[in-house]
Amino acid sequence: MGKIKKLVSMVLVVVMMFSCLTVISNVSVKADDAVTWQKKAIVSPTEKKLVGAGYIDIKWNNTLENVKQYKIFVDGVLKKTLLPSGETMSIEFYTTKVSAHNTYIVADLKDGSSVKTDTRTFYVTKKGVCVNDKDMGTKVDPASMNIGWYYNWGSKSFKESNFSNKKFYDLDFVPMIWGDPNEEFSTIFNRVKSNGYKYMLSYNEPDLKWESNTDPGTMLSRWNMFRENKGNIRLGSPATESFQINSDKWWTPFWNGLTVDERNDMSFIAVHAYQHYYDNADTALQYLHAIDEIYAKYHKPIWVTEFAVADSYNKFSPTNAKHNAQVQEFMKIVLKGLNERSYVERYAWFDFNPKDDVTGASGIFQYTGEITTLGQIYANIGNPAGYNNRTYNVSSSIAKDTSVAACVAAVDTKIYGLTSKKKAFGYSFKAVKRASGYQLQYSLNKKFKKGKKYKTKTVNVKPSKAATKTGTVKKLDKKKRTYYVRVRAYKVLNGTKYYCKWTKAKKVKTKSAVKKKKSKKKSKKK
């Protein structure tokens, strides 16, 4: 009997223990108090972090009790008001301004009071780098170049693939589907979404046989596969090997084959273009002008995902002082212009091997990790004020107007010839791609001064698809005259007319249309 009582007692003890455990397990986790929440509420962006421009997640913990609503402020401006929901909340903040930014959250409580978080400061840059896991990225420290993002031509980050250079692990990564993958698109996109990536780059140089080699028709079907799987991922366009406005054989049929909805699902255009020669600063301005033309035509944000000064036939040797100076000037001018343009979201310089005698002048870091002088210039440009960036004692600024107007003004043409005619002259000049029209100016004065005696006039010439523009200026003075002639194109971008550079003046002598009086011979008297 005693044994039975003892057994019953033990059972009761066990039951009570389980009951207590049940009670304990049902106790809710204590919410943050106001002070704790103020300091720890904001999850991202990380304090003082350099992040890539575009859409930036602002996340915070919904762990404060009795919240009626949250008000999210960025740079002192109320961006959104949200009702509490879930453990973690977020909004997207969009900016392409290379600058310091700050954010804070105000929680309005049900009792009428409010709690404000500590202010979180972060820094935005457009600057990134493209780097592989074979030789380029094995040693370099991305922090040495003050970059905010990177891509590696693959859909897995260096951290996901356990790459040996762990210095990239905390850097914003942008995946790419380089070409037709070995995995299903759904598998890739699910992995990308699970990692919280916001963007996806698509096919790399599909117009080249030795790259992703995909014809426009096939790319249209691939694009729709992307759309079916993208979820909230923002898709970048395929990156042709030249500016899209110059890719008539690949980009134009691809774009024309897209429906309105298919175009709308293209969040940005990935420009992938190298400068193959360098004459002077105008060359860099003309490069920027091509960027402006792409935006004017397609009205989509732009990422310059690969660029540099490089060509298989034109040498840009790292041991040649002139070549180095050319590449450095190009970088300074183009980066200045890219940072100024609100429609340019991001850019990434391509690091040619600095030891290569043909393209090495465009190298920004050695494959052993040390950054070059050009890399130091890259590091010094495009950094937001206040950011604790690495600085180098090299000249990085340039006093050059890189506005849209200045870049159009750098576009030149050439007068091929002028032909003398009666009361007229014929002309032929090199057509400018995508010109809206031309102005031909002629004058008796080589400085084209105004005034009746100089007979300075401007004639409008319509554009055409022909490579050479020809015509005749008629109804000139009947007498033989020497006229000075110059030509310039103009373009209309986003509704504004911009003028290109005047050609050097050439002169032409017109033929006289004045009839000579016949002299009368006096007859001899017999």
Domain ranges, ordered by start, for the chain: 34-123, 127-407, 413-509
Q: Of 289, 291, 287, give the one whose Cα is nearest residue 309.
A: 287
> For residue 398, how far is the Cα from the chain centroid?
20
456 pLDDT more than 80:
yes
Distance separating alpha carbons of residues 350 and 364, to the nearest angstrom: 8
Q: Say if residue 455 is exposed, middle or buried (CB neighbours under 10 Å; 0-12, 13-18, 19+).
A: middle
Q: Which two tokens stand for residue 353?
A: 């091997």
**CATH number of the structural domain 413-509:** 2.60.40.10
Mean pLDDT within 259-266: 97
* 8-state DSSP, 373: H
- Residue 189 in tokens: 């996109």
Fold of 127-407: TIM Barrel (3.20.20)
DSSP H or E segment with residue 297: helix 281-298
Nearest by Cα to 425 from 434, 411, 435, 415:
415
Give me the pLDDT at residue 521, please.
Answer: 57
Round to whole Å and give the CA distance between 497 and 408.
10
Q: What is the DSSP string of 89-104?
A: EEEEEEE---SEEEEE
CA distances 69 to 33, 85, 103, 321, 410, Å, are: 17, 10, 17, 62, 53
- pLDDT for residue 22 is more than 90: no
Q: Is the pLDDT of residue 119 over 80?
A: yes
Structure confidence at residue 11 as a pLDDT band (50, 70, 90):
very low
Q: Is the pLDDT of residue 86 over 60?
A: yes
Residue 5's pLDDT band (cuts 50, 70, 90): very low
Q: What is the pLDDT of residue 367?
A: 94
Question: Can you tell me the mean pLDDT for 454-464?
Answer: 95
Q: Where are the extended beta strands (E) located within 110-148?
A: 114-116, 120-125, 127-130
Q: 185-194 vs 216-229: helix axis angle to the nearest 10?
A: 50
Residue 493 or 11, more confident? 493
Question: Among 7-11, 239-243, 286-290, which stretch is predicted with the lowest mean pLDDT?
Answer: 7-11
Q: pLDDT by residue (tens digit) across 352-403?
A: 999 999 999 999 999 999 999 999 999 999 999 999 999 999 999 999 999 9
Host H or E run for residue 488: strand 482-493
CB of 441 closer than 8 Å to CB of 454: no
Answer for the pair 67, 108: CB distance below 8 angstroms, yes or no: yes
Q: Residue 513: which pLDDT band, with cuts at 50, 70 and 90?
A: confident
Whole-angstrom distance, CA of residue 125 vs CA of residue 45: 14
Inform me whether the pLDDT recorded for 526 exceeds 90.
Answer: no
The structure tokens 């080249």 sit at: 208
DSSP per-residue codes, 25-94 = HTSPPPPBPHHHHHHH-EEESPTT-EEESEEEEEEEE--BTTEEEEEEEETTEEEEEE---SSEEEEEEE
* Whole-number pLDDT of residue 33: 87
Q: What is the pLDDT of residues 206-260, one digit of tens each?
A: 999 999 999 999 999 999 999 999 999 999 999 999 999 999 999 999 999 999 9
Averaged pLDDT for residues 401-423: 97
pLDDT at 263: 98
Evaluate if residue 54 carries a pLDDT over 90: yes
Round to whole Å and give the CA distance between 366 and 346.
Answer: 23
Statement: residue 524 has pLDDT above 90: no
What's the confidence (pLDDT) of residue 519?
A: 59
% of the chain surpassing 70 pLDDT: 92
Question: Coil, helix or strand for 126?
Answer: coil
3-state SS of 399-415 is CCCCCHHHHHHCCCCCE
Distance, in Å, from the CA atom of 75 to the CA atom of 437, rounded to the nearest integer, reads 44
Nearest-angstrom CA–CA distance, 475 and 178: 60
The reply to whether 34-123 and 413-509 are identical in fold is yes
pLDDT band of 512, cuts 50, 70, 90: confident
CATH superfamily of 34-123: Immunoglobulins (2.60.40.10)
Give the Cα separation of 247 and 271 in Å (integer): 11
Q: Is the pLDDT of residue 30 over 70?
A: no
* Tokens describing residue 367: 């494959």
- CB 228: neighbour CB atoms within 10 A? 11
Q: What is the pLDDT of residue 21?
A: 40
Residue 518 has pLDDT above 70, yes or no: no
Phi, psi dihedrals of residue 63, rounded to the nearest 5°: -120, 15
Residue with tokens 């790319």: 219
CA 213 to chain CA centroid, Å, is 23
Backbone angles phi, psi at 509, to 5 degrees: -100, 125
For residue 97, what are the CA distances in angstroms to 49, 123, 126, 346, 511? 15, 10, 8, 11, 59
Mean pLDDT of 449-477: 94
Spatial distance between the Cα atoms of 151 and 399, rounded to a whole number of angstroms: 31
Beta-ladder partners of 176: 201
What is the C-alpha to C-alpha distance for residues 520 and 526, in angstroms, rounded to an integer? 19
User: How far from chain centre, in Å, is Cα 334?
Assistant: 11
> 57 phi and psi, to 5 degrees?
-80, 130
Q: What is the pLDDT of residues 309-362, one digit of tens each?
A: 999 889 999 999 999 999 999 999 999 999 999 999 999 999 999 999 999 999
